[in-house]
Amino acid sequence: MWEAPETIGRYRIIREIGAGGMGVVFLAEDQVLQRQVALKVLRPQPGLTPEKQAALAERFLRECRVAGRLTHPNIAKVYDAGEDNGCLFLTMELVHGDSLRDRIDLLGPMGPPQAVDIARQIATALSYAHSRGVVHRDIKPDNISVSPTDRVKVMDFGVARLATDITVSSPGTVIGSPSYMSPEQIQGGDVDGRTDVFTLGTVLYEMLTGRRLFQGSSVPEVAYKIVHTEPDLGGSFPPRLRALLRRALAKDPRERFATAEQMLTALRDPLLLRWDLAAGDRREDDSALGVPVAAPGRSRVLMIGLVGGYAAAIAGTLIFAGPAAVSLAAGGAAVALTARLAGGARSSALAGWGALCAAVLAAAHTWLDW
Ligand SMILES: Nc1ncnc2c1ncn2[C@@H]1O[C@H](COP(=O)(O)OP(=O)(O)OP(=O)(O)O)[C@@H](O)[C@H]1O
Ligand SMILES: [Mg+2]
């Protein structure tokens, strides 16, 4: 059992906050700047040759330097990193709030608006980090902190890469569970921002249902499911949200959102949380692609009503009025239908109203001799 010293570098340890796969996180005081920080100390790796220890330290400091350049309101800032008496450590902004893991475990599933709001903030952080060449690689509820007012901070940017180093350096060490890994991570393939897109999909699903998407009684079983089994997205979600999840969770990275930015666009779709879209509506998929869609895809009944209304208006105008009113109404109806087919709900409604007004005016003209 490893005993933490009283101080590490210029940091005085106050108490332990928690422990994870790679090390222990402490509440500590920066004695120079006299402020509290979160101090993460990597567990010593027994049995490492001095060369391997030096290589690990070098890699660790390099990752910390990269992560330290990230400054974003939704990312826990890395302040400092170093080595003291063989202990590798880094200090971070002390984040106040529950981890998303505790939130889900204590309060169960969230409503779609709250889950999507949290996912948007995570996607914003990812999009920023990816644009600076940093992939998180370990997005999971434990690495997301949520304040009482639902402000999100993503923790451990870049540091997750070290987990692989430690596993490789110390054979037999199992770090964490594969539950939140992407298929390509499990298969040891190249990893890019689309891995974070996949894992954000699993986290969003868990927020919505309170359940882990990939579960199993053993690590190989979970890993097999992630790579080969199409997940059952049980639960009731608005149709576009379901399409978004499907897209983020595609096994093949090429079928996912190409970037976190694209996923963010889909998360911002104003129709994402609408329940009244037909499940088979093709535009559902367009929305998940991040393509702006103007039409709300109202029910078929409304469409039939509109077409019937235009037809009645034209027929009424033909019977009761002269050619000018007929062309006005027919033109309006044509514009309305074209706009409706192209997806412009607002222009469709306006043109429809125009056609109806022309018909009413024509009828009034005939009947009242006006
Ligand atoms: N900057 C921080 N501020 C406050 N608490 C933190 C901070 N970073 C981590 N913690 C907390 O410390 C605990 C341990 O975190 P740690 O990152 O070591 O483990 P983990 O995220 O569970 O697993 P992993 O090692 O895979 O990241 C968690 O409860 C986490 O919420
Ligand atoms: Mg962590």
188 in the same domain as 281: yes
Task: Please report the atom of ligand 1 found closest to the CA of residue 143.
Answer: 21
Determine which of 139-143, 223-227, 327-331, 347-351 has the lowest per-residue pLDDT on average.
347-351
C-alpha of residue 145 to centroid of ligand 1, in Å: 9
Q: Does the pLDDT at position 193 exceed 50?
A: yes
264 in the same domain as 119: yes
Determine which of 188-202, 211-225, 267-281, 333-347 has the lowest per-residue pLDDT on average.
333-347
Residue 270 falls within a domain, yes or no? yes
Looking up residue 130, the CATH number of its domain turns out to be 1.10.510.10
Contact 104, 188 (CB under 8 A): no
Task: Report the catalytic residues.
Answer: 138
In percent, the amount of the chain with pLDDT more than 70 equals 71
Output the pLDDT for position 291.
38
- Would you place residue 320 in the very low, low, confident or very high pLDDT band (cuts 50, 70, 90)? low
322 in the same domain as 174: no
Number of folded domains in the chain? 3
Alpha-carbon gap, residue 224 to 175, rounded angstroms: 17
121 in the same domain as 77: no
Output the pLDDT for position 53.
81
Residue to probe by mutation, ligand 1, list 41, 63, 143, 144, most atoms within 8 Å of CB: 143
Residue 293 falls within a domain, yes or no? no
Alpha-carbon gap, residue 270 to 251, rounded angstroms: 27
193 in the same domain as 71: no
Output the pLDDT for position 234.
74
Determine which of 14-18, 83-87, 275-279, 340-344 has the lowest per-residue pLDDT on average.
340-344
Output the pLDDT for position 60.
84
Output the pLDDT for position 299.
45
Find, among 265, 283, 275, the residue nearest to 238 by Cα.
275
Task: Please report the atom of ligand 1 found closest to the CA of residue 175.
Answer: 26
Output the pLDDT for position 316.
66
176 in the same domain as 203: yes
Residue 43 falls within a domain, yes or no? yes
List Cβ neighbours of 193 (8 Å cut-off, separation of 6 or more): 126, 130, 135, 259, 260
Q: Does the pLDDT at position 174 exceed 60?
A: no
- Would you place residue 78 in the very low, low, confident or very high pLDDT band (cuts 50, 70, 90)? very high
Output the pLDDT for position 158.
74
Q: Does the pLDDT at position 187 exceed 80?
A: yes
Looking up residue 51, the CATH number of its domain turns out to be 3.30.200.20
- Domain end (from 243, 266, 288): 288
- Outline where DSSP puts E strands in the chain: 7-8, 11-19, 23-30, 35-42, 78-84, 87-92, 98-99, 144-146, 152-154
122 in the same domain as 243: yes
258 in the same domain as 135: yes
Residue 1 falls within a domain, yes or no? no
Contact 243, 288 (CB under 8 A): yes
Output the pLDDT for position 116.
98
Alpha-carbon gap, residue 356 to 46, rounded angstroms: 82
103 in the same domain as 81: no
Output the pLDDT for position 349.
60
Output the pLDDT for position 325.
64
317 in the same domain as 205: no
Residue 105 falls within a domain, yes or no? yes
Task: Give the pocket of ligand 1 (CB within 6 Å).
Answer: 17-23, 25, 38, 40, 76, 92-95, 99, 138, 142-143, 155-156, 176
Range 196-223 average pLDDT: 95
- Domain end (from 62, 92, 122): 92
Contacts 24+ apart (CB under 8 A), 333-340: 336/306, 336/310, 337/307, 337/310, 340/295, 340/303, 340/306
pLDDT digits (tens, 9 = 90+) for 21-63: 778 999 999 999 999 999 999 877 777 788 888 888 888 888 8
Range 201-220 average pLDDT: 95
Domain of 144?
98-288
Residue 295 falls within a domain, yes or no? no
Residue 294 falls within a domain, yes or no? no
Q: Does the pLDDT at position 279 exceed 70?
A: no
Task: Please report the atom of ligand 1 found closest to the CA of residue 140.
Answer: 21
* Residue with the larger pLDDT of the pair 227 and 366: 227
Output the pLDDT for position 54.
84
104 in the same domain as 87: no
- Domain end (from 53, 76, 92): 92
Residue 231 falls within a domain, yes or no? yes
Output the pLDDT for position 157.
87
* Confidence (pTM): 0.74
233 in the same domain as 270: yes
